A and B are shown apart, each in its own frame.
Chain A
Amino acid sequence: MLISPDDRLIFEKSRPGRKGSGLPETRCLKDSAAAKLPEKFRRKQDLVFPEVSEPEVIRHYVNLSRKNFSIDTHFYPLGSCTMKYNPKLNEWAAALESFSAVHPMQPEETTQGFLEVFYNLEEALKAMTGMDRFTLQPAAGAHGELTGMMLVHAYHESRGDTKRRKVIVPDSSHGTNPATAALLGYEVVTIRSNAQGRVDMAELRKNLDAETACLMLTNPNTLGLFEVDIQEITRLVHEVGALLYYDGANLNALLGVVRPGDMGFDIVHLNLHKTFSTPHGGGGPGAGPVGVKAYLVPFLPQPLVEKQGAQYRFVTENKASIGRIKSFFGNSGILLRAYTYILTLGRAGIIKISDDAILNANYLKEKLKHVFPVAVDEPCMHEFVLTLKKAKDKGIHAGDVGKRLLDYGFHAPTVHFPLVVEDALMIEPTESESRETLDRFVEAMKQIAREVEETPDLVRGAPWTLPIGRPDEVRAARNPVLTYRDVVREKEKVCREGAPIA
C-alpha cells in the first residue's frame, strides 16, 4: 500500500525518553540553580508533548504530505484562487541566508538589499496596476481589504464627511468583502446583479447616495466577465463623493489588458499568492499589498519605502497614517518571492500571463459548455461558471461533482460560489496548464456527466479512492474535538459510557 494507513497522531507515536533534536548541552553558569526561575514564574503544569526521534518525525510528516493534493501534483481549476505554478526560483531566493537571516530591527544601512527589493516591487506593482503608491504591509488578501476599508474611513473622516455609513457590495462578491466592511461598523448594502452577473446599473443608481462610503468591486467579476459599464460605474460613484475599491482576486485576467487605476479605482488590493505565484502553503502565508491614488497616500500604513540617492529608507512622515496593521514590515519572504517572479517574467511575460489565462479559460469553456451549461454564454476572461442545477433531479449537487473529480485525479473547482448562480462550479485553469491537461479534464467531466445520468450513486458518494471518504462535518461541529487532549477525553468517555458520542 503506497499511502500509509497509519493514521496516528504524532502524540500517539510518543515514547518516554525519545528525543528528536540536537540542542547543545553546555551551560554558561557554573551554578545551574541561578538559571532557575523564582517559584511563582515557573511552569508547574505537565507539558503533554510528543517524545519521538528525528526519523519518526520525518516519516510521520512525509507520510502526511502524501495524503495531500497540491499544484505540484494535481491540476486545480479553482475559480478565484488562481492556482498557478509556484516557481522554484522563488523558493531558492527566499532560502538564501542573506535574506532569510535578516532581523527586522537591524539598522537600515544593514538591510539595503531587502529595502531595494521592496522598492522595486512597489514600482512594478504601480506599473502593472496604474496606482500611485503601495503599502506592502498587509499579510493576506483579507488583511489588504481591511486596510483598504480603513483607508476609506480615514479619507472621509479627514474631510469631515461623517455621514458615510454604507458600503455597497454586489451579491456576487467574495465573502470577505461584507465581513470586512462590517468590522468597521459600516452597513453593508448588497445589490443584485443582472442576468449576466454584472452590476445592475439601475440598482446601483438607486443605492448610491451621500451616505455611501465606498463600492467594493472586482473586475472581471466572479463570473469571469468584464464589467463593461465600469467607466459609468466609476463616474456615478465619484459623483456622490464615494470611493471605488478593487478586490484584486481576479487580477490574473487583467495584466497588460486593463489597469485598475486607469478604470478609476481609488484603492486596490492584490493577492501575491494568487496572481504573483507565491505558494498557497496549505492556507497561507500570503501577502496582500494595497495600492492607492495620490490623495489617499497620506493615510497609508507606515513605514513606506523611499529612495534617496543611492540609499533606500523607511519613511514614517505621514501624520494622517492609519497606523500599523501588522508588526514589522509585512511578509518580507513572500514579497521577495513575488519580486523574483516579476524579474523572471518581465514586461512581455507579464502580458503573456493574462493572454494565456484568458485563452485557456475560453478554450475550456467551449469544450465544457456541452457537458454542463455555462451560467452566462459569452466570452469570459480568466474564469467561468457552470451551473449544475439540472442535476438536481438526480439528487446531485455541484459539490458532488467536485468530489468525484478527486477520484479522477483533479482537484475540485470552486463549488457553490458565486451565490448568484444556482449550484455553481467556478473554473479557472490559469496560464500554467497545457492544452492536454485541459483536454483530460474535459474527458473526466464528460465521464462524470454520464455517471450523473446513469449511476448517480457513484457521484453522490464520491470520493472513493482517497485516504478518507466524506467526513461527518455535522458531528465535528456539534462535538468539536480540536486537540490531542480532546481525543484522549473522548476515548475515556467511550470507555466509561461504552458508546461513541453522537
Chain B
Amino acid sequence: MHYQPVTPEDKESMLQECGVAKLDDLLRGIPAKLFRPKLEMPEALSELEIQAFLRELGARNKTAQNMLSFLGGGSYDHFIPSAVSSITGRHEFYTAYTPYQPEASQGTLQAIFEFQSMIAELMGLDVSNASHYDGSTSLAEAALLALRQTGRRKILLSAAVHPHYREVLKTYLKGTLYTVEEFGFDGSGGYSREKFFDGLNEDIAGVIFQTPNFFGVLEDLEGIADAVHAVGALLILNVYPLSLGVVRSPGEWGADVAVGEGQSLGIPLQFGGPYLGLFATTRALVRRVPGRLAGLTEDNKGRRAFCLTLQAREQHIRREKAASNICTNQALCALAACVSMALLGKSGMKQVGELNRDRAVYLREKISELPGFKVDLNVPIFNEFVVGSAKPFTQIQSAMMAKGFFPGIGLGDFYEGRGHDFLVCVTETKTKEQLDRFVEALKQC
C-alpha cells in the first residue's frame, strides 16, 4: 500500500520492541465475538484504474461548462481567477491543521484575518468570524445569537428566504423552546410590509430577511432596522456577497448581524459543497460571535503576531456553555474567497456587480418581449429574476436541456402552485451572444 511506509521487516522488528510476537497480541481485551469482522468491500484498484473509473463517472454528469447554465438559487457560476487554485493548492495551506499553535500557523492565521477584514468591509459591519459551514448554518447561528442575546424565544422569518435555509433553521430549533414564525411575500416577490409588521412585537428576538431574496428581488428595508430595534429585537440579513460592491450593504441597512453564502467568492459549484458560511456583526456583539476568530497581537519580541482569540466562547473551553458547538470553520474555502477578493480588489468588486446587473437586466428585458413568457420589469434585482411561462416549466426544461441549456430552477419544487414559474440567474460569465441564443431557444419552446 503506497501510502504506508511500514514494511513486513519494519513490522517484525517494531513488534519485537513492543515485546510481542504479533499485532493481535496488542489487542487483547477486545471481545472475541466482535474481533476482526469480515468487511464486505471491493479490493483495491490501482491509481490508473481509478482515474479511468472516475473519468467515466464524471462523464455521467453534465456541468455548467458543457451546458449553458442559468441556474442560481443559492449556488452561483461565477468567474474564478486561475490564481485562486494556485494558492489553495499550496501544500502548506491545504494540508495544514487548525491553527491552535499560532507560531506554526502564521500563514493560515493571517489569511483568515485578511478574510475577516474583507468580509466585514463588504458587509459594512465591524466584525466577521472565520466562517461557518455554509450560508444556511450561518443563518441558524445568527438566529441562536439573537435568541441568547435577548432572552426571547421567537424568530420572525421572511418566507422569501431560501427554502433550504428556512428548513435548516427549523431543524436547528426543533426540540428546543424556540419557535419560528414566517411572514409572507406579495405578488412582486418582495416581502409583504403589512405581514411583517403584523408579526413584529416584543416576543421577537430576531428578524431575518434575505436580500436579494430567493426570487432575486432586492428587498426594500427602509425603516425596518428602526422598527426592529424599537421592539428590542435584532435585525439579521442574509445577503449575496459578490453583489456588495454595488448593492447596499447590511450595515447600511442597519443590520446587527449579516450572514450569507460565500460560494460566489471564488469557490466552484462542486454539487453543493464545500461552501462558505459568512457571519458578521456590529462591534457590540463581538463577544457573542460563534466560531473561530483570528486576532492580531504581538509576540514576545514585539513582532506582529496573529492568533485565534476569544476562544473562551468556543466549545473546547466552555464545553456546555459554548456560544455554539462549532469546532471548525471552512478555512480553505475562506482562503479561496480571500484570494479571489484580493484579486478582484476594490475596482473589480464594483465591476463584477455591474456586469451581473448588466447581463440580468438585458436578459430580463429580452425575455419580457417573448410571447408565452411573463417577467416583472419593475422589481429591483441583482442577477436573478422570476419568469412566468404559459407552459409548465417541466416542459420548458426538457426542451431547453435538449438544446444544451439549463434554463433555470422551477419554483414548483418549492412553492405550491408555482409550476409555471422558474428562476433565471445570469452572471458575468455569459456573453451577449449566449444570451441572445438562450432567448431564441426559449422562443422556440
Contact = CB atoms under 8 A, between A and B. Distances in A.
B282 interface: no
Given A476-B309, A483-B128, A179 B331 contact: no
B18 A363 contact: yes
A280 B96 contact: yes
Interface stretch (A109-117, A235-243, A390-398): A109-117
A29 B362 contact: yes
A497 interface: no
Interface stretch (A145-153, A289-297, A449-457): A145-153
Interface string A338-359: 0010111111111111011011
Residue among A153, A178, A483 having the largest count of chain B Cβ atoms under 10 Å: A483
A154 interface: yes
A141 B327 CA distance: 8
A257 B32 CA distance: 11
B299 A468 contact: yes
Contact of A128 (B41, B61, B304): B41
Contacts of A85: 3
B95 A348 contact: no
Interface in B330-387: 330-333, 335, 339, 341-352, 354-355, 357-359, 361-363, 380
Interface in A389-439: 402-403, 406, 411-412, 431-435
A37 B246 contact: yes
A65 B99 CA distance: 13
B284 interface: no
Contacts of B306: 471
B136 A49 contact: no
B99 A472 contact: no
Given A20-B343, A324-B167, A26 B432 contact: yes
Contact of B29 (A142, A226, A472): A226
Given A37-B218, A326-B137, A330-B272, A20 B344 contact: yes
Given A49-B121, A61-B87, A301-B171, A283 B328 contact: yes
Contacts of B215: none
Contacts of A343: 42, 44-45, 50, 53
A117 B89 CA distance: 23
A367 B13 CA distance: 13
B86 A431 contact: no
Given A69-B92, A362-B26, 18 more contacts: A21-B348, A37-B246, A43-B248, A45-B124, A48-B121, A65-B91, A70-B91, A94-B270, A139-B273, A154-B175, A185-B176, A279-B95, A283-B112, A285-B330, A328-B273, A431-B4, A435-B14, A470-B103
A377 interface: no
A99 B61 contact: yes
Interface stretch (B191-199, B200-208, B225-233, B289-297): B289-297
A233 to B, nearest CB: 12
Interface string B155-183: 00000001011011011101111000000
A232 B130 CA distance: 43
A298 interface: no
Contacts of A473: 297, 307, 309
A50 B346 contact: yes
B237 to A, nearest CB: 13
Contacts of A44: 248, 252
Contact of B1 (A117, A130, A280, A349): A349
Nearest to A34: B361
A52 B128 CA distance: 22
19 contacts: A7-B303, A68-B96, A70-B96, A89-B51, A92-B51, A101-B63, A101-B269, A102-B270, A139-B274, A175-B317, A226-B30, A284-B274, A362-B26, A432-B3, A468-B299, A472-B299, A473-B309, A482-B295, A482-B296
A228 B6 contact: no
Contacts of B310: 477, 480
A350 B39 contact: yes
B416 interface: no
Interface residues of B, number: 203
A68 B108 contact: yes
A323 B168 contact: yes
A227 B374 CA distance: 66
A53 to B, nearest CB: 9
Contact of B249 (A45, A96, A107, A475): A45
B413 to A, nearest CB: 9
Given A182-B321, A362-B26, A471 B86 contact: no
Nearest to A330: B273
A377 B406 CA distance: 62
A19 interface: yes
Interface residues of A, number: 199
A176 to B, nearest CB: 5
B300 interface: yes
A332 B273 contact: yes
B220 interface: yes
Interface string B395-419: 0010001000010010000000000
Contacts of A466: 103-104
A202 interface: no
Interface in B90-128: 90-99, 101-108, 110-114, 116-118, 120-122, 124, 126-128
B274 A331 contact: yes
A10 interface: yes
A445 interface: no
B36 A257 contact: yes
A257 B6 CA distance: 18
B307 to A, nearest CB: 4
Contacts of A26: 431-432
Contacts of B120: 482-483, 485
Contact of A65 (B85, B92, B305, B355): B92
Nearest to A353: B4
Contacts of B39: 127-128, 256, 347, 350-351
B92 A9 contact: no
B75 A116 contact: no
Contacts of B145: none
B116 to A, nearest CB: 6
